[in-house]
Structure 1
Amino acid sequence: MIREATERGDFDDLPGLGKPLNLAGLDDPDWWAKQKIREEELDSSVLLPPTLQLRKERDAFPESLRGIADEQAVRTILEDFNRRVRQDRLRPSMGPQSHVIARTIDVGEMLARWRDLRG
């Protein structure tokens, strides 16, 4: 079947034709997923455990809110973040992740920082 496909030219337009294979990182069992994330320019933070996703989101405040002009919308986002943090703390955990926690934020303080950021 391969010989027949080759004779038909089914493999002639494949990317990388005539180039050596990139075998770097094949000792990593997740090499293909990491390569796909790079090629597709996907956000790899979705692969993190939920608590670490929350910590990363917290670290991005207030800069991640800069484009929002409505203060009530910002307040809603911040309050939702705190709700998700509290919900995460109630989730059963096992193993090394059980020691990692995300902290809530002071909504009033973060709103003041957001106002300063917006000028």
Structure 2
Amino acid sequence: MTERKPPGVDFESWVDKQIRDADARGEFAELPGVGKPLPSEMDSTYDELWWVKRKMAREGFSVLPPTLALRKEAEDALEAAAKAPSERVVRRIVEEINVKIRDVMFKPPPGPPLGLKPYDVEEVVRQWREGRAER
């Protein structure tokens, strides 16, 4: 659009006229999503960062502070260890998460404190064995 607002014309009236003219020419008729309701997440209270959050989720980025993301990862690791097919896999899962926990303990990132300490590998293996015996 290269047309300039004429002097003396109210800006809002000029913009409204441009929109009405474009609509009359059918320039909005083929836009994606025309005539469809807004996505359900738009129905809630307005969040000015909605598009940033949606983009981050689509790209697989975490919106959690690093320590909270690690807490979630530690919980997931314990669940994975409980379902592991062998003791060797249990040990590998717990040792890998322990490395990450130790790194955060000694070099804390910004954000809330981690509140975790490395897991006792032998205790997790013992629980895994008990879980297998109950099946």
Give TM-score scaled by structure 2 length. Answer: 0.58
**What is the root-mean-square deviation of aligned Cα atoms in Å?**
3.5
Corresponding position of 2:123: 109
Give the counterpart letter for 1:15 in structure 2. Answer: G
Change (3 A) 1:34 1:89: same
TM-superposition CA deviations, 1:58-109 (whole Å, max 9, x none)? 3345332344212112201111111111111222544x52x44322101000
Give TM-score scaled by structure 1 length. Answer: 0.64
Please say which structure displays the higher CA radius of gyration.
2
Provide the rounded CA distance (Å) in 1 between the counterparts of 2:60 and 2:130: 29
Residue-pair matches, total: 110
| Structure 1: runs of 5 or more not aligned | none
Provide the rounded CA distance (Å) in 1 between the counterparts of 2:101 and 2:38: 48
RCO higher in structure (CA 8 A, sep ≥6): 1
Answer yes or no: is the 8 Å Cα contact 1:51–1:102 preserved in 2.
Answer: no
Identical counterparts, % of pairs: 29
Asked if 1:17 corresponds to 2:35, the answer is yes
| Structure 2: runs of 5 or more not aligned | 2-18
